[in-house]
């Protein structure tokens, strides 16, 4: 099962506790996905989790529910 954990880059930068985006933007880190290297979102994920719109509990609940639904079909 492919899960796309979706979040705009602006929000990723705000949530970055290690300052990696800043380091990538100032040239301290090379080939950083979304900054100096391309980012390619999945083409056909089974589940999309918009973390910029949902809280942690809701994200976990959606993933868990989808996973349970998938394994019960097997």
- For residue 66, what are the contacts with CB-CB under 8 A and spacing of at least 6? 1, 3, 46, 47
Smallest CA-to-CA distance from 10 within 26, 24, 23, 21 is with: 21
Class of domain 3-72: alpha beta
Cα distances (angstroms) measured from residue 72 to each of 26, 46, 63, 66, 68: 48, 15, 14, 10, 6
Are 52 and 4 in contact by the 8 Å Cβ rule? The answer is: no
Mean pLDDT value across the chain:
95
Q: What percent of the chain has pLDDT over 90?
A: 92
Q: What is the pLDDT of residues 14-39, one digit of tens each?
A: 999 999 999 999 999 999 999 999 99
29-51 mean pLDDT:
96
Segments making up each domain of the chain, as ranges: 3-72
Q: In angstroms, what is the C-alpha Rg of the chain?
A: 15
């Amino acid at each position: 099962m492919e899960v796309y954990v979706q979040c705009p880059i602006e929000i990723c930068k705000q949530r970055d506790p290690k300052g990696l985006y800043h380091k990538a933007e100032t040239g301290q880190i090379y080939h950083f996905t979304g900054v100096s290297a391309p980012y390619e979102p999945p083409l056909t994920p089974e589940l999309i989790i918009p973390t910029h719109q949902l809280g942690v509990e809701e994200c976990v609940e959606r993933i868990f529910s989808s996973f349970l639904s998938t394994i019960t079909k097997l």
